[in-house]
Amino acid sequence: MTETGIDLVKDETPATPGTPLLEVRDLQVEFHTREGVAKAVNGVSYSVEAGETLAVLGESGSGKSVTAQAIMGILDMPPGRIAGGEILFQGQDLLAMTEAQRRKIRGNKIAMIFQDALSSLNPVLSVGYQLGEMFRVHKGASRKEAKARAVELMDRVRIPAAKDRVNDYPHQFSGGMRQRIMIAMALALEPDLIIADEPTTALDVTVQAQVMDLLAELQQEYRMGLILITHDLGVVADVADRIAVMYAGRIVERGDVREIYRTPAHPYTKGLLDSIPRLDQKGSDLYAIRGLPPTLTSLPAGCSFSPRCDRAREICVTERPLPVTVLDAEGAPVPGRSSACHFWKETLHG
Amino acid sequence: MPDQNLTGTRSTAPVAEVAQAEAGPPPGKPRSLWSDAWSDLRRKPSFLIAGAMILVLIIIAAFPSLFTSASPREADLQGAFLRSPELTKFFSPEWFGYDSQGRSVYARVIYGTRASIVIGVSVTVIVLFLGSLVGMIAGYFGGWVDAVVSRIVDTFMGIPFLLGAMVILVSFDVRGKLVITLALAVLGWTTIARVMRGSVISVKQADYVQAARSLGAGTWRILLRHVLPNAMAPVIVVAMVALGGYISAEATLSYLGIGLADPAMSWGSDINTGKDQIRVALHVLIFPSIMLSGTILAFLMMGDAVRDALDPKLR
Amino acid sequence: MADTTREPILEVRNLVKHFPLTQGIVFRRQVGAVRAVDDISFTLYPGETLGIVGESGCGKSTVAKLLMNLERATAGEIFYKGDDISKLSGRALKAVRRNIQMVFQDPYTSLNPRMTVGDIIGEPFDIHPEAAPKGDKQARVRELLDVVGLNPEYINRYPHQFSGGQRQRIGIARGLALNPEIIICDEPVSALDVSVQAQVINLMEKLQDEFGLSYLFIAHDLSIVRHISDRVGVMYLGKMVEIGSDTAIYDHPTHPYTQALLSAVPLPDPDAREGRERIILTGDVPSPANPPSGCRFRTRCWKAQDRCAEELPLLAVPQRYADADTAVAHDSACHFAEEKPQVTHA
């Protein structure tokens, strides 16, 4: 229980003056399943500043998307349940708000982009109508005004011939174009924070590059905070400023993207980076992390990664490692960098 | 920092495990999807209640004499004409009172069960077999076979169920259980055929069917081992819900006087006779009605519970 | 390693697959065709891995289905050890099928959920009794489970009790059961988590060495294809646009599409972010029902000229590199094929 206390004292960087745009503190989300209570998110803390991109990296079941759903307030409850923690948006706790208050923030201040644009858009309404709806509902714009704003937005995300296509339906657009419409929708009310959950996973490589570029550019322009949830190490390296690596509902490592890629301080991060083949070099055997992620209903007592870890010792099985600030070669703390591993030093340096 | 001695068994274990790279044991025993569904159902109150009710109904239908000593045909016009029920005399002939011919309503309710259950179950079995076969052929082979079969199904679907049954039944002089069963089955199989066709179409595109084809498996093997077991679930649910409908259809036809009639016993025909004395002796009408509704409810509840248990989204 | 001096084990010549677009239910009439695969040729040599890359809709999965005879080719031939198998049916087809097996993309849908793992892996023996082991079939199934790194005790489990990676191992075991020579892998790891992908890739490489398998490895992930392939073919809108050794394609691409594709792949290296020149293609892939005339890539190509719309570029070694003796001299279907050195990654 004291974990957060320690975590925050040791880990939060004093480098940021004032309150961050969004701060998640010790969030816990449970799911009630046939096999028992699954701890999908188990004490996650992270923060995002305006104009910054935080990548939350993790595999399926790591809790990265559940955290995002909790922030958006779109978690299915039940079976889900927020068992503890705080989500501070511009200093206010979202979890303490009424549904009416949250609805004002959702879409208006925090917007989300989903992986599957086709199923996120209503197939029986035209794209222009759906984009315009944002203005009608939140800003009380007239029909005509709303349509004009919709065309403007479509231009903004570089949909060719926006004026002619505003009355088209979602299925008439290609996958890449639909994802642009999703981005336009998220941008409509100029939110302060965008959460993108695997925004390019369903897209082809060449289209993925277009969409990612667009997103990064618009983010800079509007100085929004961006939480990028993904499993793709390449995408993270391309756009993120900081990353948080999640495993089995916990953040195992976080810090500056360059530092983590260069010198990972957690065996899981290191294993992930070693296990992807490189486009620019032909390796021999791939390093493979052995075994499987644990079942969330029966997490190991110690470090969740210990059954798959080459470095695991007895202490890893018995004692759960808390996130500690990583020190550089001279022994000075690296701001914003932490690792939840008993042997982070060995991982970092050897 | 850890002592090297601490490494113990833990540090050597991984080396041995490398070969069995991913052999993390799946939890528990072998569980098929059916057994998963069963373990789900066993914990469901609605399933348990419906199951118990259906079990009792089946026993009543098979051995009515176990439940009453009275004969449903023994009439005592002088002593028992429309006598009121004696609700405290459980299981005795006078429990539900007597009808206008002095027959025990309780005995008639018990003996009437058989007609409902037998007709309901046999229509369902025939419909399930016929509909599944036709639906499977149409869905799997597609093309012109599907086009022809679907039009036939549409034609049958266009006939109103009860009206169609009435038209068929009035053309028979003697209308026994068999005739009613066949009449209902002829009109009912299309629902199952449609559901099966849709289900087969979605299953046949599954990768495991492609995999079997690429292994060189023949049509029958693919149909029976891969398509049918996976396409069955929605059909079973629809059939269970339909069973209640067939029981109600039989009762309706008997009530209208074109189903079972004396001397055969059916809740529907008893409700028909009971309606004439509705002001003076409500009990003659009410008890067969309660039995009928209860029976239909039991099968609907069962269908609902099974639907939830087989729903893959909850897996 | 591949021995390209030997006879090819599989040769595809001018393969075409058009899916008719029809209207009407009982009386159908054709109103057009989706040209999913349009005149493709390649060879696969014993023991080698040929990677096929391309974006969705390029026809790479249709190629797999044609090779497996799950779809009938509209035109063209498929030679297995010199015999055309594209027109076979019945018993002769079944015999060939023993030697060509497939591993499917989605391990969640490619295993029959109502069958036990033992039944799934043993099914090939039921279908091909002549290839079944004499005596104990169960023992052979257990052996196969062991080969793919699964505990043989799990023979009576059902697929849904396993994770994605384990299921893909089951799919691979089924593919191995009949001792095939060729395995066609259609996106075999794209549905798996990153940490599990490496395990399955390593397993596939191990099995290739152990059993001398030839792989046709179809994927959209260029990094994985480079890792596992000896040669690579790049597809765009039903055409093969470039094919060559992995070094030729990845380090010396001469087709603009390949160059754009490679430059768009995000590298897992934040330091490479600024140093790389990226070609961001505009627009989307055109519909295969109505492909552009001439070169199909011309609508998105920065090099396109009038000639590209009129004349279909052939897949051949470009003129300018005809005499070159390096990896740059490989087949590329572009009128203006040229290496673009700054594109290949730093």
pLDDT at position B254 over 90: no
Any CB–CB contact under 8 A between B14 and chain C? no
> How many CB atoms sit inside 10 A of residue C275's CB?
10
**Mutation for B interface: A290, A292, A299, most B CBs within 10 A:** A290
Asked if A308 and B6 touch (Cβ cutoff 8 Å), the reply is: no
Assigned domain for C5 exists: no
Taking CB atoms and an 8 Å limit, are C272 and A237 in contact across chains? yes
pLDDT at position A1 over 50: no
Any CB–CB contact under 8 A between A283 and chain C? yes
C216 and C303, same domain (yes or no): no
C236 and C290, same domain (yes or no): no
pLDDT at position A33 over 80: no
Assigned domain for C316 exists: yes
Chains that touch C (3 or more CB pairs under 8 A): A, B
CATH (domain of C239): 3.40.50.300
CATH (domain of A299): 3.40.50.300
pLDDT in tens, C65-96: 999 888 888 999 999 988 888 888 888 888 88
C207 and C260, same domain (yes or no): no
Assigned domain for C277 exists: yes
* pLDDT above 70 coverage of chain C, percent: 95
Q: Which of C253, C286, C302 is the last residue of a domain?
A: C253
pLDDT in tens, C325-344: 788 889 999 999 888 865 44
**Among A335-349, B47-61, B136-150, which stretch is predicted with the lowest mean pLDDT?**
A335-349
Taking CB atoms and an 8 Å limit, are C194 and A59 in contact across chains? yes
C282 and C216, same domain (yes or no): no
In chain B, domain spans = 38-314
Chain B residue numbers with beta carbons less than 8 Å from the beta carbon of C89 are none
Chain B residue numbers with beta carbons less than 8 Å from the beta carbon of A35 are 27
State how far the alpha carbon of A331 is from the alpha carbons of A60, A340, A345, B136, in Å.
Answer: 35, 18, 11, 72
Nearest CA in chain C to A175: C284
pLDDT in tens, A108-127: 888 888 877 777 788 888 88
The larger pLDDT score, comparing residue C272 to residue B204, is at: B204
Per-residue pLDDT at C27: 66
Nearest CA in chain C to A59: C193
pLDDT in tens, B75-106: 777 777 777 777 787 777 778 888 888 888 88
Per-residue pLDDT at C338: 87
Any CB–CB contact under 8 A between B159 and chain C? no
Give B201→chain A minimum CA distance, Å: 22
Assigned domain for A170 exists: no
Q: What interhelical angle do B105-141 and B282-310 show, nearest 10?
A: 30
Per-residue pLDDT at C79: 92
- Of the ranges A103-117, A123-137, A204-218, C239-253, the best mean pLDDT one: C239-253
Give A330→chain B minimum CA distance, Å: 18
C120 and C154, same domain (yes or no): yes
Taking CB atoms and an 8 Å limit, are A208 and C202 in contact across chains? no
The answer for residues whose C-beta is within 8 angstroms of residue C285's C-beta and 6 or more apart is A174, A204, C55, C57, C58, C236, C237, C300
Rounded mean pLDDT, A319-332 = 84
Per-residue pLDDT at A5: 37
Assigned domain for A301 exists: yes
Which architecture characterizes domain B38-314 according to CATH? Answer: Orthogonal Bundle (1.10)
Assigned domain for A88 exists: yes
Per-residue pLDDT at A9: 38
pLDDT in tens, C208-231: 999 999 999 999 888 899 999 999
How many structural domains comprise chain A?
A: 1
Q: Which of C211, C226, C253 is the last residue of a domain?
A: C253
Assigned domain for A240 exists: yes
Assigned domain for C110 exists: yes
Assigned domain for C4 exists: no
Mean pLDDT of chain B: 82
Q: Which of C187, C221, C253 is the last residue of a domain?
A: C253
ipTM of the complex: 0.81
Nearest CA in chain A to B11: A313
**B28: pLDDT confidence band, cut at 50, 70 and 90?**
low
Residue from the list B6, B18, B40 with its beta carbon closest to the beta carbon of A290: B18
Per-residue pLDDT at C4: 54
- How many contacts does A have with C, using Cβ atoms within 8 A? 135
> Residue C264: which domain range?
254-346
Q: What value does the CA radius of gyration of chain C take, rounded to a whole number of Å? A: 21
C134 and C234, same domain (yes or no): yes
**C113: pLDDT confidence band, cut at 50, 70 and 90?**
confident
Nearest CA in chain C to B145: C26
Per-residue pLDDT at B9: 32
Chain C residue numbers with beta carbons less than 8 Å from the beta carbon of A175 are 56
Taking CB atoms and an 8 Å limit, are B33 and C68 in contact across chains? no
> Residue A335: which domain range?
3-97+224-349
C133 and C167, same domain (yes or no): yes
pLDDT in tens, A194-203: 999 888 877 7
Nearest CA in chain C to B202: C109
Rounded mean pLDDT, B203-215 = 88
Assigned domain for C19 exists: yes
Per-residue pLDDT at B312: 52
Asked if C86 and C71 touch (Cβ cutoff 8 Å), the reply is: no
Chain C residue numbers with beta carbons less than 8 Å from the beta carbon of A211 are none
